[in-house]
Each structure stands twice: as structure tokens, then as C-alpha cells.
Amino acid sequence: MQAFFEKYGVEMIQKSFEHLYISAIALGLGILIAVPLGIALTRSKKTASFVITITSALQTVPSLALLALMIPLFGVGKVPAIIALFIYSLLPILRNTYIGMNKVSPEYKDVAKGMGMTDLESIVQVELPLAIPTIMAGIRLAAVYVIAWATLASYIGAGGLGDMIFSGLNNYQPDLILAGTIPVTILALLADFLLGGLEHLFTPKALRGTDL
């Protein structure tokens, strides 16, 4: 074990940070776009059906094919990889945001209106806090997806832990495959754990462990 870390330790750390950088930006963009869009779609059911169908269709495109499609548009490197991973992060976040907001009981919305809240105030102060558990579940799922799929970004020169995995596959080096695979697994589990902590933190105390 000591020899393993002496041989691959430094490279594992460098590639892990590179992998995390790509994944975090893609996930962050997914959250910034999908959460507001999911909220907006709850105000337009017809548009929601169309947008979610399109997003679902993008999710069915094989990851390698999507990465390959990025090359003519954006070249190679981190930018096309981040864009492709961002596209893959959209569906779970968008769908869960839409579902979570729709699950909020109409009674809560009526109370907000009765208190004189505007539609925006109702969303921010009432509906969004109540929908947080469902929204965060989508974000956690997207985070695991993105971290796992980021290994394929190595094919278009984006770097990350995929470099070690595919180098090990190409050169028949099991140790190198493990040196890439183990950190990916740890990063995915760590991201899910940390986001689970945020979910608990942002969920209103009265709703923890209960349904809306």
C-alpha cells in the first residue's frame, strides 16, 4: 500500500483536484440554470412538458457521443467537457425542482396570498423552503452523475482522473486503473455526503424526516 501511494500519490491528488474542478463548475452551472428554470416551469404547465421532454432527450445521448459532438463546436479541453457535463446535470435538477415545487400544498400558497405576499415572495419564503428536500435530492443525484461521467472527459483532453484510468486500460496496468477509480468513488461519496448535510441544514426543521 505504501509503495502504491509513493508511486501514484502525487498524481492522484493532482488529477483529483482537476476532476473536482471540472465537475464542480458543470454542477454549479446546472444548479444556476435548472433550479430557476424548474421554478418558472411550475407557472406554465404546457411549456414545462416541452422543456422537460427536450432535457430528457438530451440525457439519452450517449456520453461519449455528446463529448465528441462538443469537439467541432468548442474544440478539445476543459470547456467542451464542462459544457457536456452541464447538459447531463440538467435533467435531475430540473425535474426534481419542478416536482418539488408542485408538491407544495396549495394551502401554503393560499396562506401566503392571504398574508399579502407577491408571487415572488411566496416562492422565496414559502414554496422554495418546502421544496428543498426534493430539489437537493436532484442535485445530489446530478453530482454523482457528473463526477462519474467526468472520467470520460479525458477522451477530449480535459484531464482529471480519467487520464489515469484510461492510461491503465491502454497499458494493462491495474494499479493505475485503481489509482484513478478509487478517488472517483471517494469524490462521489463525499459530494453526496456534503450535499446531504446541506439538505439537512436548509430543510425547515418542521419538515425534516416528513413529507410535504
Summarised one tens digit per residue, pLDDT across range 18-48 is 999 999 999 999 999 999 999 999 888 889 8
| Percentage of residues in the chain having pLDDT higher than 70 | 96
- Is the residue at 67 inside a domain? yes
212 is a domain residue: no
CATH number at residue 89: 1.10.3720.10
Helix (H) or strand (E) holding 84: helix 78-103
Domain carrying residue 120: 2-207
What percent of the chain is predicted at pLDDT more than 90?
44
Kindly state whether residue 55 falls inside one of the protein's structural domains. yes
SS3 of 11-73: HHHHHHHHHHHHHHHHHHHHHHHHHHHHHHHCCCHHHHHHHHHHHHHHHCCCHHHHHHHHHHH
Decide which of 60 and 39 is more confident. Answer: 39
Domain assignment present for residue 27? The answer is yes
Q: What is the pLDDT of residues 81-131, one digit of tens each?
A: 999 999 999 999 999 999 999 988 888 888 888 888 888 888 888 888 889
**Buried b or exposed e, range 175-212, using 16+ CB within 10 angstroms:** ebbbbbebbbeebbeebbeebeeebeeebeeeeeeeee
75 found inside a domain = yes
Q: Place 175 in a pLDDT band, splitting at 50, 70 and 90.
A: confident
Model confidence, pTM: 0.89
Crossing angle of helices 2-41/45-59, nearest 10°? 160
The residue with greater pLDDT, 193 or 210, is: 193
Residue 60 domain flag: yes
Task: Give how many domains the chain has, as a whole number.
Answer: 1
> What integer pLDDT is reported at residue 210 of this predicted model?
57
